[in-house]
A and B are shown apart, each in its own frame.
Chain A
Amino acid sequence: MKTRLARHWLSGAMIGLTYLAAVLATLPLLLILFHLLRKGAASLSLTFFTSMPKPVGEAGGGMANAIVGTLTLIGIACLIGLPIGIGAGIYLSEKRSTPLAHSVRFLSDVLNGLPSIVMGIFAWEFLVRPAGHFSALAGGTALAAMMIPLVTRTTEEMLRVVPISLREAALALGYPRWRTSISVVVRTALAGIATGALVAVARIAGETAPLLFTAFGNQFWSTSLREPIAALPLQIFTYAISPYDEWHAQAWAGALVLISIVLVISLAARFVTRSRFGAPVD
Chain B
Amino acid sequence: MLQSIEVARGARVTPSVVAPRPATPETRESAGLEKPCIVTRHLTAFFGETAAVKDVSVAIPQQAVTAIIGPSGCGKSTLLRCLNRMHETVPNARVDGVVEILGSAIYGEGTNATAVRRHVGMVFQRPTPFPTMSVKANVAAGLRVDSKDRRADQAEKEIVEEALHRAGLWDEVKDRLNESAMGLSGGQQQRLCIARALATHPRVLLLDEPTASLDPLSTQKVEELVYHLRESVTLVIVTHNMQQAARVSDRTAFLLGGELIEFAPTNALFTAPKDQRTEAYITGRFG
Residues of A within 8 A of B (CB): 97, 163, 165-166, 168-176, 179, 184, 187-188, 190, 277, 279-282
Contacts and interface: CB of A to CB of B under 8 A. Distances in A.
Nearest to A163: B128
Contacts of B119: 174
A169 B196 CA distance: 10
Contact of A174 (B118, B133, B178, B182): B118
Given A172-B122, A173-B142, 19 more contacts: A166-B131, A168-B86, A168-B124, A169-B128, A169-B130, A170-B130, A171-B89, A172-B84, A173-B121, A173-B141, A173-B197, A173-B200, A174-B115, A175-B145, A176-B145, A187-B130, A188-B130, A281-B132, A282-B133
B128 A166 contact: yes
B145 A179 contact: yes
A115 B133 CA distance: 42
A175 B134 CA distance: 18
Contacts of A163: 128
Contacts of B124: 165, 168-169, 172
Given A188-B132, A280-B137, A173 B118 contact: yes
Nearest to A179: B145
A171 B133 contact: no
B274 interface: no
A171 B117 contact: yes
A7 B178 CA distance: 56
Contacts of B114: 171, 174-176
B244 interface: no
29 contacts: A97-B91, A163-B128, A166-B128, A168-B89, A169-B124, A169-B130, A171-B86, A172-B117, A173-B118, A173-B121, A173-B196, A173-B197, A173-B200, A174-B116, A174-B117, A174-B118, A174-B145, A175-B114, A175-B145, A179-B145, A187-B130, A188-B130, A188-B131, A188-B132, A277-B180, A279-B180, A280-B134, A280-B137, A281-B132
Contacts of A165: 124, 126, 128
Interface in B143-158: 145-146
B86 A172 contact: yes
A282 B134 CA distance: 6
A166 B182 CA distance: 13
A103 B89 CA distance: 24
Enumerate the 5 nearest inter-chain pairs by beta-carbon distance, A residue then B residue, closest first: A174-B118, A169-B128, A172-B122, A173-B142, A174-B117
Contacts of A279: 179-180
A169 B131 contact: no
A188 to B, nearest CB: 5
Interface residues of B, number: 35
B269 interface: no
B128 to A, nearest CB: 4
A260 B118 CA distance: 52
Interface of B: 84, 86, 89, 91, 114-119, 121-122, 124, 126, 128, 130-134, 136-137, 141-142, 145-146, 178-182, 193, 196-197, 200
A179 to B, nearest CB: 6
Contacts of B193: 169
A174 B142 contact: yes
Q: Which of B114, B118, B137 has the most CB of A within 10 A?
A: B114
Nearest to A282: B137
B147 to A, nearest CB: 10
A225 B159 CA distance: 53
Contacts of B200: 173-174
B196 A187 contact: no
Contact of A280 (B115, B133, B141): B133
B216 to A, nearest CB: 23
A280 B131 CA distance: 8
A224 B208 CA distance: 61
A186 to B, nearest CB: 10
A173 B194 CA distance: 11
Contacts of A190: 132
Contacts of A176: 114, 145
Contacts of B86: 168, 171-172
A170 B114 CA distance: 10
A165 B189 CA distance: 14
Contacts of A187: 130, 132
B135 to A, nearest CB: 9
Contacts of B84: 172
Contacts of A169: 124, 128, 130, 193
A80 B121 CA distance: 41
Contact of B178 (A175, A184, A188, A280): A280
Contacts of B126: 165
B162 to A, nearest CB: 17
Contacts of A173: 117-118, 121, 141-142, 145, 196-197, 200
A280 B117 contact: no
A184 B121 CA distance: 18
A187 B141 CA distance: 13
A277 B117 contact: no
A172 B115 CA distance: 10
